[in-house]
Amino acid sequence: MKIKTRFAPSPTGFLHIGGARTSLYSWLYARHHHGEFVLRVEDTDFERNSEEATAAIIEAMEWLGMGYDEGPYYQSQRMDRYKEVIDQMLEQGTAYRCYCSKEQLQADREAQEANKEKPKYVGRCRHLGAHEQDPSKPHCIRFKNPETGVVTFEDAIRGSISFNNEELDDFIIARTDGTPTYNFCVVVDDWDMEITHVIRGEDHINNTPRQINVLRALGAPVPTYAHVSMINGQDGKKLSKRHGAVNVMQFKEDGYLPEAIVNYIARLGWGHGDQEIFSREELVKFFEITNVSKNPSSFDYAKLNWVNQHYMRELSPADLATKVKAFVDYDVESNALAPFAQVLQLYVERCHTLKELAEQVKYIYQPVTELEEAAAKKHLKSVEVLQALKANLAEIPASEFNAQAVHQVMQDTATALELGMGKVGMPLRVAVTGVGQSPSIDAICAFVGQEQVLARLDNAIAWINNQAAQ
């Protein structure tokens, strides 16, 4: 049997992290078993669907590297097929026309709630004879769900799950305007597309018995179902915007690598021993849906940042520079002394995203216009130190202004002023970078260049004098 999975998003918004994980698990399962992966767009909610959302979902999947073998199929283009199946079910007696008004249905619901019964359709039109039906009058179409028995399916993640048919009602498969409903369309689609494994969120568990009953009524094979648990934030509540980015493409805009996102979300509920970092080939090799946990996962930005930093370090200097350039708003060619790829290697161990890297190296390519207040107040106290540094750094021949020469000046200045290296290095760091933390300041000075270093020391001296005058 050829394994065939599908991802079937509704184009009512962006691809969120939970949907991306479901898609990834479906993709990995198909690839692991040398099967096929189908993309199907469930766009029958005409009021909420948008072409922009569809494009955004496909863009996000492409960014994550989840190519599909078939599709994208669009439910909105399959209306004739749904009507064909509904007509067939009406003829066979597995579906029927329902003429109940909204007022009748509401009254039924209120009566059931008053009797503390589970609200469901009472079956008023279930046994109407042919002479009692008039297709020209407003009506919907309901599925004639079995009234007795049990629907049991073996969830690949959760084990055996059962529902009593008497708890399920005759749900609507076509609305009064003729448009088919989700629980019907998905059944026909899975049947026509020969889907063998349906991997989706746990919020669909209650839909599964209804869909299985329709499949059986159609004489169609029942796929294997696997329901993935939700993703929570660190506070234990369902992941949402309040926890940070949940839109997959927002992670791209924030400077995360697709390899890192794929690696991280794969591990949100699945694992292979104690291994944390997986190449895509390893994910395909090791992934099995039966190894996915049925417990909720917790989205941890600290862990994601660690994973992303790993993948940034794995990039070649040239590739890293190319990717970071997408986040710079300054001219990286403006300083011939600071090849961008080399500069980034000085910072990559300190940063977690491409965007952060771009921000951290900014001061090497453009003047420092503002000093970090806390760092300046703590370390910029002595004009004497800065003046000594400036004088000594100015004596270095331009052709010999490198990290070693700067370091020697720092040592000589500290000795002459009878100060520890920190009392010299930190003022120099704040003056040149504008911040209190950075990689080795002698290497940074070499990248910034002698002319700019001296100019920034002048600015720092002016800042101290200005503070003293206030």
Give yes or no for a contact between 103 and 68, defined as CB atoms under 8 angstroms apart. Answer: no
User: In a 3-state reduction of DSSP, which class is residue 195?
Assistant: coil
The reply to whether 325 sits in an annotated binding site is no
The reply to whether 445 sits in an annotated binding site is no
List Cβ neighbours of 138 (8 Å cut-off, separation of 6 or more): 99, 176
| Whole-Å CA distances, 333 to 309, 328, 356, 403 | 25, 12, 19, 21
- Tell me the C-alpha distance between 136 and 130, whole Å: 13
Count Cα neighbours of 217 within 13 Å in the Cβ-side half-sphere. 25
Phi and psi at 35, nearest 5°, equal -105, -155
Residue ranges of alpha helices (H) inside 280-353 are 280-286, 301-314, 317-324, 340-347
**Residues making up the chain, counted from first to last:** 470
User: In a 3-state reduction of DSSP, which class is residue 214?
Assistant: helix
The reply to whether 98 sits in an annotated binding site is yes
Give yes or no for a contact between 165 and 213, defined as CB atoms under 8 angstroms apart. Answer: yes
Which of left, alpha, beta for 116 (phi over 0: left; psi -120 to 50: alpha)? left
The reply to whether 118 sits in an annotated binding site is no
| Whole-Å CA distances, 276 to 22, 63, 255 | 19, 22, 21
Q: Which of 294, 268, 287 is nearest to 29 (CA)?
A: 287
The reply to whether 127 sits in an annotated binding site is yes
- Binding-site residues for Zn(2+): 98, 100, 125, 127
- Binding-site residues: 98, 100, 125, 127, 241
- Binding-site residues for ATP: 241
